[in-house]
């Protein structure tokens, strides 16, 4: 049968890429590309052909980029070949040192719009005028892995935001977790050394499941609140688009009258929270190690711009003094139920980078980058980060002039007497390069006490000593609060993660020491982990302070804060030749109406011919498009096609993995033989949705809005019966 037409393999709502909104006024780069290249903005190529001519770095036109200069066709290469020399020279030096942590990252451009003024609390311009738009750049990252590691490592995610404000650059250098492992920056090198690959063997990479990390953690009681977050599904997110961001530390807002208010910063994803399962993450890393990068790129390219609301927790000194913990302790959070998060603006990522290195790799975030109206608290970890982040830019970017790079350059006027250094693209003009000077208006910039940054005059009087405050000594109360705030399935996943990680630890004494901390957090969890390791339950670790029974905080649960639709999620539609065209059309129509993404999976990448003769291209070949890449799947083979699939191992894996990962599965009228061969019981639960007729499509998409059918896991997982969650 001749094909009637060729349909696309997949579709996103707004299939034609939407144009990104224009940047706000004043957001143009401070120098043109030509100026950055050092030619003063003049264009020497005047014809269309010349504009396309390859040149050297010096602008010399290149006649032949295929062959080096030789003495005869088979003779030696000549030393005078300056074009070869320059090309190889640049290639030899095109790598810069990767970040010590957060090496694997991905970024995008965007805009921040203020929706609720904080002028009462801060004189920062970016927080003052409702409706004002500010250019932004955001970089997401893993922490422990190297640049070439995979996206779905169990790891903290960096969430760093650079706002190019009218008063200078403001960096909120945060994570997707609101607390940290340590309280003092003195321990940061030790933490990073412990979690990175072990130095004698250079593995495992991008993993904490090894002796060194758990040795450090088991000897560091302050780390255990963060350990609970790390072992939760927060560290295997579905997408960069479905993570929260936190500034971690307490900062200050300072208003025009000089009054200070403490603040914690939050980024709330409008896409809702979502993570994957550990077994799923492992398989995604094999199928697509760039899964998070691809997801963010495709969402922005399709016009489905990710958004986060900026929220603040505001409190004064009296409130801080009343808290049952020290707000300067970076291992603690303030529950949202205690101090609500006030939404003040929206961040929209609307433009992908046009060169990864120039933007994402060269962007330099520094916690010290604040603007008038924002100031630091006395958090000792924050003070250490302020020192470290600036210092590392010289090592990575090679010059104190890293702010001259377009991605780091402020979008407001810059005027000072800092000069020279490697790769200086601007220097003071005129005779004066110092201050104070008596050269009058030609003497350059002057300090401005009226609008300039002024540190909040906090009272400080004490003795110099190396000591940790007693108010930092409660290490387990919030760890327990986090655990009891999780839903049963989430609690089970924490227990599973701890058993997995500690099973990779070779020394039994380290395993036992880790479990001893769990006894101070939750006895049932400790018993579950000890049983999973075949370990006698050890005595509880000694605690500096007793563990408090703090009330649950629903805001800490991923499942309690998920999306309410399938918008922006991806459906895998498994077709064969002869699949039902009317059903396919109805399903894709329902997905388009939901704002979801769909991709066709087929036995061959060339696609299939439906029962009405319509040709449909495939986006994925079955052995290259496993179900782990999708949020839900629909299996719609023909009667003849399913007989072939039932003998195919990747096809059986497709449905068995979707089943094991608790996904909603749309089951076509002819699909049962494939499920039977894969030993997937269709009658087990309501996560299987019949797709016999076109009218069934809408109900299936509506069911997918909850993303996973979690009751299935507690029925089929061998560990569920002994789990604390069960």
**Which residues are designated catalytic?**
102, 175
Task: Write a three-state SS string for 642-660.
Answer: HHHHCCCHHHHHHHHHHHH
The pLDDT of residue 2: 41
**Region 339-350 average pLDDT:** 98
Q: 595-639, pLDDT tens digit by residue?
A: 999 999 999 999 999 999 999 999 999 999 999 999 999 999 999
Residues 6+ apart with CB under 8 A from 325: 332, 471, 474, 477, 478
- Single out the residue of 596, 601, 600, 598 nearest to residue 569, CA to CA: 596
Question: Exposure string (b/e) for 135-169, b if CB count within 10 Å is 16 or more?
Answer: bbbbbbbbbbbeeebbbbbbbbbbbbbbbbbbbbb
Answer yes or no: do 170 and 123 share one domain: yes
Answer yes or no: do 538 and 679 share one domain: no
Cα separation, 626 vs 714, in Å, equals 24
**CATH code of residue 639:** 3.40.50.880
Which of 440-449, 697-706, 716-725 has the least mean pLDDT?
716-725
The pLDDT of residue 12: 45
Residue 7 has pLDDT above 90, yes or no: no
Cα separation, 223 vs 339, in Å, equals 24
H or E element, residue 7 = strand 6-7
From residue 128, alpha-carbon distances to 123, 322, 344 in Å are 7, 29, 10
CA atoms within a 13 Å half-sphere pointing along the CA-CB vector of 177: 28
Q: How many residues does the chain have?
A: 726
Answer yes or no: do 171 and 269 share one domain: yes
Answer yes or no: do 205 and 333 share one domain: yes
Answer yes or no: do 483 and 600 share one domain: no
Place of tokens 């000591």: 467
Residue 135 near residue 351 (C-beta atoms within 8 A): no
What percentage of the chain exceeds 70 in pLDDT?
Answer: 92
Cα separation, 490 vs 492, in Å, equals 5
Cα separation, 178 vs 330, in Å, equals 8
Answer yes or no: do 231 and 324 share one domain: yes
Does residue 432 fall inside a structural domain? no
Does residue 518 fall inside a structural domain? yes
CA atoms within a 13 Å half-sphere pointing along the CA-CB vector of 543: 18
Answer yes or no: do 539 and 591 share one domain: no
pTM: 0.91
Residue 488 near residue 714 (C-beta atoms within 8 A): yes
CA atoms within a 13 Å half-sphere pointing along the CA-CB vector of 73: 0
Confidence of residue 21 (pLDDT cuts 50, 70, 90): very low
Residue 579 near residue 610 (C-beta atoms within 8 A): yes
Number of C-beta neighbours around residue 338 at 10 A: 16
**Region 116-125 average pLDDT:** 98
Residue 388 near residue 188 (C-beta atoms within 8 A): yes
Number of C-beta neighbours around residue 582 at 10 A: 13
The pLDDT of residue 715: 79
The pLDDT of residue 725: 41
Q: Which two tokens stand for residue 209?
A: 């499941």
Answer yes or no: do 543 and 576 share one domain: no
Does residue 49 fall inside a structural domain? no
The pLDDT of residue 11: 54
The pLDDT of residue 717: 77
**Region 253-260 average pLDDT:** 97
Q: Name the domain boundary from 560, 579, 609.
A: 560
Residue 504, domain extent: 474-560
Cα angle value 704/705/711 (rounded, 5°): 65
Does residue 163 fall inside a structural domain? yes
The pLDDT of residue 429: 87
Dihedral (CA of 233, 235, 238, 243) sign: positive
Cα separation, 369 vs 161, in Å, equals 11
**CATH code of residue 504:** 1.20.1370.20
Does residue 85 fall inside a structural domain? no
Q: Name the domain boundary from 539, 560, 581.
A: 560
Parallel, antiparallel or unpaired: strands 157-165 and 168-175: antiparallel
Q: Which two tokens stand for residue 220?
A: 């560091």
How many structural domains are present in the chain?
3
The pLDDT of residue 427: 87
Angle, helices 508-518 vs 211-218, to 10°: value is: 40
117: exposed, middle or buried (C-beta count within 10 Å: 0-12, 13-18, 19+)? middle
H or E element, residue 141 = strand 133-142
Q: Which two tokens stand for residue 508?
A: 């039994």
Question: Exposure string (b/e) for 230-254, b if CB count within 10 Å is 16 or more?
Answer: bbbbbbbbbbbbbbbbbbbbbbbbb
Q: Which two tokens stand for residue 255?
A: 């208003």
Give the ranges where 244-304 is alpha helix by DSSP (H): 278-287, 291-301
The pLDDT of residue 489: 95
Q: Phi first, then psi: what are they for 603, rounded to 5°?
A: -60, -30
Q: 406-444, pLDDT tens digit by residue?
A: 999 999 999 999 999 999 998 888 999 999 999 998 999
**CATH code of residue 361:** 2.40.180.10
Answer yes or no: do 528 and 585 share one domain: no
Does residue 70 fall inside a structural domain? no
Residue 565 near residue 594 (C-beta atoms within 8 A): yes
Answer yes or no: do 128 and 247 share one domain: yes
406: exposed, middle or buried (C-beta count within 10 Å: 0-12, 13-18, 19+)? middle
DSSP E strands: which ranges in 275-409? 307-315, 342-352, 374-376
Does residue 312 fall inside a structural domain? yes
Number of C-beta neighbours around residue 427 at 10 A: 12
**Region 108-115 average pLDDT:** 98
Residue 387 has pLDDT above 70, yes or no: yes
Answer yes or no: do 652 and 615 share one domain: yes
Give the distance, in angstroms, between the CA of residue 512 and the centroid of all CA atoms in the same chain. 33
Does residue 1 fall inside a structural domain? no
- In the sheet that 615-616 helps form, which strands lie side by side, from edge to edge? 6-7, 615-616, 608-609
Residue 122 has pLDDT above 70, yes or no: yes
Query: DSSP class of residue 211?
Result: H
Place of tokens 């560290």: 235
Cα separation, 703 vs 687, in Å, equals 8
Cα separation, 636 vs 641, in Å, equals 9
Residue 159 near residue 110 (C-beta atoms within 8 A): no
Answer yes or no: do 639 and 522 share one domain: no
Max Cα distance, the chain (Å): 91
| Cα end-to-end span (Å), the chain | 54
Cα separation, 134 vs 132, in Å, equals 7
Mean pLDDT, the chain, whole residue set? 92
Q: Name the domain boundary from 533, 560, 587.
A: 560
């Amino acid at each position: 049968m001749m094909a009637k037409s060729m349909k696309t393999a997949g579709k996103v709502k707004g299939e034609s890429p939407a144009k990104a909104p224009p940047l706000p006024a004043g957001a143009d780069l401070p120098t043109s590309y030509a100026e950055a290249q050092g030619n003063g903005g003049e264009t020497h190529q005047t014809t269309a052909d010349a504009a396309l001519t390859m040149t050297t770095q010096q602008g010399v036109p290149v006649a032949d980029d295929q062959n080096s200069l030789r003495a005869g066709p088979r003779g030696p290469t000549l030393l005078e070949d300056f074009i070869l020399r320059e090309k190889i020279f640049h290639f030899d030096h095109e790598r810069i040192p990767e970040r010590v942590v957060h090496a694997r990252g991905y970024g995008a451009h965007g805009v921040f719009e203020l929706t609720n003024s904080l002028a009462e609390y801060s004189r920062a311009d970016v927080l003052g005028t409702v409706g004002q738009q500010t250019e932004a750049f955001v970089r997401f990252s893993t922490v422990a892995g190297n640049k070439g590691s995979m996206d779905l490592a169990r790891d903290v995610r960096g969430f760093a935001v650079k706002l190019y404000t009218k008063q200078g650059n403001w960096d909120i250098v945060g994570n997707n977790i609101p607390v940290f492992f340590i309280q003092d920056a003195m321990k940061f090198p030790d933490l990073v050394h412990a979690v990175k690959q072990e130095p004698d063997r250079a593995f495992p990479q991008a993993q904490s499941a090894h002796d060194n990390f758990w040795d450090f953690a088991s000897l560091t009681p302050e780390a255990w609140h963060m350990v609970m977050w790390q072992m939760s599904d927060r560290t295997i997110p579905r997408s960069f688009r479905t993570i929260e961001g936190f500034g971690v530390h307490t900062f200050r807002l300072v208003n025009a009258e000089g009054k200070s208010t403490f603040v914690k910063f939050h980024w709330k994803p409008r896409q809702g929270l979502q993570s994957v399962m550990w077994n799923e993450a492992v398989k995604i890393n094999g199928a697509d190690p760039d899964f998070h990068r691809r997801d963010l790129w495709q969402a922005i390219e399709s016009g489905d711009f990710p958004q986060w609301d900026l929220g603040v927790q505001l409190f004064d000194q009296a409130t801080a003094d009343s808290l049952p913990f020290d707000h300067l302790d970076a291992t603690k959070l303030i529950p949202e139920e205690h101090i609500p998060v006030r939404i003040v603006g929206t961040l929209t990522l609307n433009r992908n980078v046009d060169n990864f290195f120039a933007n994402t790799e060269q962007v330099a975030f520094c916690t010290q980058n604040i603007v008038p109206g924002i100031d630091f608290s006395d958090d000792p970890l924050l003070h250490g980060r302020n020192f470290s982040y600036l210092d590392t830019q010289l090592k990575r970017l090679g010059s104190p002039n890293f702010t001259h790079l377009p991605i780091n350059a402020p979008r407001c006027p810059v005027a000072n007497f800092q000069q020279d250094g490697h790769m200086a693209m601007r220097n003071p003009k005129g005779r004066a390069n110092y201050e104070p000077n008596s050269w009058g208006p030609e003497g350059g910039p002057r300090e401005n006490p009226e609008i300039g940054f002024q540190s909040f005059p906090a009272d400080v009087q004490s003795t110099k000593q190396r000591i940790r405050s007693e108010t930092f000594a409660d290490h387990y109360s919030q760890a327990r609060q986090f655990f009891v705030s999780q839903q049963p399935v989430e609690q089970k996943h924490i227990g599973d993660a701890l058993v997995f990680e500690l099973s990779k630890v070779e020394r039994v004494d380290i395993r036992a020491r880790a479990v001893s901390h769990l006894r101070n957090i939750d006895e049932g969890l400790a018993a579950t982990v000890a049983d999973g390791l075949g370990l006698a339950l050890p005595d509880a670790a000694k605690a500096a302070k007793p563990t408090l029974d703090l009330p649950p905080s629903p805001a800490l649960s991923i499942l309690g804060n998920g999306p309410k639709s399938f918008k922006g999620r991806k459906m895998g539609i498994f077709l064969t030749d002869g699949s039902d065209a009317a059903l396919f059309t109805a399903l894709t129509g329902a997905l388009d109406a939901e704002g979801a993404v769909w991709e066709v999976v087929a036995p061959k990448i060339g696609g299939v011919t439906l029962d009405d003769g319509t040709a449909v291209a495939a986006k994925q070949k079955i052995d290259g498009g496993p179900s782990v890449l999708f949020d839900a799947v629909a299996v719609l083979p023909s009667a003849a096609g399913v007989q072939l699939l039932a003998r195919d191992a990747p096809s059986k894996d497709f449905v068995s993995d979707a089943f094991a990962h608790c996904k909603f599965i749309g089951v076509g009228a002819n699909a049962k033989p494939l499920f039977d061969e894969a030993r997937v019981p269709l009658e087990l639960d309501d996560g299987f949705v019949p797709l016999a007729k076109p009218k069934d499509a809408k109900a299936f998409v509506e069911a997918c809005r909850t993303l996973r059918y979690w009751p299935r896991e507690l029925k089929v997982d061998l560990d569920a019966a002994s789990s604390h969650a069960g």
